[in-house]
């Protein structure tokens, strides 16, 4: 092959602010778009240490994604799962920031940029995630509603980091729209989310992943996957949910 120079691609994906719910028509089998995949299964993530409450919310979201994959695939001998591992030693390939560039601030409260390998539109090298400082700040630490919203945002953007796209159904954690009623509800992982991660962890990155025939798309509260004692604060936020 020639030695042509190939640019590294960066693709932004946003969690958008929308308060109007539009009609959704479900397909025969639910499908989710795939933005790309990490070739390594351990994703080193940097989470800002302050504000501490915000750090802990994002860390709990990472723990939930880790645990959900393991439990979903625990009886599958071919299972491969992604694992978030927190680090602050400069080796992170997934960087989280409690800030929002001006270009995104007017259209999103969460945003993830992908850096792809040269010549590829699917092989993720690293990610940069922005979480709105309107929520992720010192003053919101004692605000239960803000904490619940922050947890939902963190879960969604970590799903982006893992390569998942949007699914418009009003239920899934990968639903990108915001409407106030969701803040007080326990976030949910779907069978489709976890199955899709299994597919891409095995080395595939199709444009869409659909559940196999006969498999129902069920929803499980995210708090189910939070081990004690790290989940104490998060569970208490959703105790009434």
**CATH code (residue 93):** 3.40.390.10
pLDDT surpasses 50 at 1: no
Does residue 51 lie in a domain region? yes
Does residue 2 lie in a domain region? no
Number of domains in the chain: 1
The pLDDT assigned to 204 comes to: 92
Provide the pLDDT confidence category of residue 232 given band limits of 50, 70 and 90: low
pLDDT surpasses 50 at 25: no
Residue 122 is classified by DSSP as S
Q: Name the residue among 113, 110, 114, 90 with its Cα closest to residue 100.
A: 110
pTM for this predicted structure: 0.87
Does residue 144 lie in a domain region? yes
Does residue 207 lie in a domain region? yes
Residue 151 token pair: 């947890």
- Say if strands 123-131 and 94-97 run parallel, antiparallel, or are unpaired: parallel
Provide the pLDDT confidence category of residue 226 given band limits of 50, 70 and 90: confident
Say what percent of the chain tops pLDDT 90. Answer: 69
pLDDT surpasses 90 at 9: no
- List, as one string, the DSSP characters of 60-114: HHHHHHHHHHHHHTTT-TT----EEEE--SS--SEEEES---HHHHTTEEEEEEE
Residue that wins the pLDDT comparison between 11 and 40: 40
pLDDT, the chain, mean = 85
Does residue 5 lie in a domain region? no
Does residue 131 lie in a domain region? yes
| Crossing angle (nearest 10°) for helices 191-201 and 52-72 | 80
Mean pLDDT, rounded, for 30-43: 96
Provide the pLDDT confidence category of residue 170 given band limits of 50, 70 and 90: confident
Residue that wins the pLDDT comparison between 178 and 109: 109
Does residue 1 lie in a domain region? no
Provide the pLDDT confidence category of residue 105 given band limits of 50, 70 and 90: very high
Does residue 192 lie in a domain region? yes
Residue 209 token pair: 């992943």
Mean pLDDT, rounded, for 25-37: 80
Q: Which domain holds residue 91?
A: 10-237
């Amino acid at each position: 092959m020639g030695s042509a120079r190939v640019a590294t691609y960066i693709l932004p994906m946003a969690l958008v602010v929308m308060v109007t719910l539009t009609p959704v028509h479900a397909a025969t089998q639910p499908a989710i778009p795939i933005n790309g995949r990490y070739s390594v299964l351990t994703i080193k993530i940097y989470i800002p240490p302050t504000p501490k409450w915000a750090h802990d919310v994002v860390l709990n979201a990472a723990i939930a994604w880790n645990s959900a994959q393991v439990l979903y695939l625990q009886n599958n001998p071919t299972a491969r799962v992604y694992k978030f591992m927190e680090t602050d030693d400069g080796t992170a390939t997934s960087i989280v920031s409690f800030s929002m560039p001006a270009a995104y601030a007017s259209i999103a409260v969460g945003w993830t940029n992908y850096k792809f390998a040269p010549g590829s539109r699917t092989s993720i090298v690293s990610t940069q995630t922005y979480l709105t400082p309107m929520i992720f700040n010192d003053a919101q630490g004692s605000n239960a509603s803000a904490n619940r919203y922050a947890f939902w945002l963190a879960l969604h953007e970590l799903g982006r980091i893992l390569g998942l796209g949007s699914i418009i159904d009003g239920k899934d954690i990968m639903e990108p729209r915001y409407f106030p009623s969701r803040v007080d509800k326990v976030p949910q992982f779907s069978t489709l989310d976890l199955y899709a991660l299994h597919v891409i962890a095995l080395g595939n990155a199709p444009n869409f992943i659909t559940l196999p025939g006969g498999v129902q798309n069920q929803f499980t509260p995210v708090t189910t996957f939070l081990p004690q004692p790290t989940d104490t604060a998060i569970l208490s936020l959703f105790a009434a949910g």
